[in-house]
A and B are shown apart, each in its own frame.
Chain A
Amino acid sequence: AQKVTQAQTEISVVEKEDVTLDCVYETRDTTYYLFWYKQPPSGELVFLIRRNSFDEQNEISGRYSWNFQKSTSSFNFTITASQVVDSAVYFCALSEPLRGAQKLVFGQGTRLTINP
């Protein structure tokens, strides 16, 4: 069965610090997708990034970067120079394509608090 573990339940840092959110996954599938979503205090779920299992390139988008390592089944997320607006719950998710649909299995989420 697929499983996603976000071992850090809560993280609190001071603004401008760098912070890394860990994500470890388990799957027997050779083709799968990994995602990160952000849930700010307003409650909506915001898509951040998708990674295919066959593409291990790391990605950088502004202050956000993602490190995908199949050897350790990890897909970690780093925020550089954090800002108060980054405060949210962040979810890592794994999906298995199922007849065209994406069955997302979410981690427990990491609540990130950026203090001014």
Chain B
Amino acid sequence: AIQLTQSPSSVSASLGDRITITCRSSQGIRDDLNWYQQKPGKAPKLLIYASSTLQGGVPSRFSGSGSGTDFTLTISNLQPEDFATYYCLQDFNYPHTFGQGTKLEIK
């Protein structure tokens, strides 16, 4: 199974900051990489698919990039509602796999 390694596992930031989360795949997955946001007690929410395409309704302060094995999620101008846990997911092949998650906390 393809392994996804996310870093950092947690990050503290202030309102208005810009943060970047990385996701590295154990093998090439083209651009078959999605990003999800999860808040406590809620189901994950799709933010970005195909590495860099913003899902409808997601604010433009979220952006994604990368292909092959290295991917990034960037959140600019952090807002209070952005503090959550973020996961990458590869759907290049089965079994689909998630990164271990990055918890974004308020500094």
Q: Please indicate whether A and B come from the same complex rather than being unrelated chains.
A: no
Interface residues of B (CB under 8 A from A): none
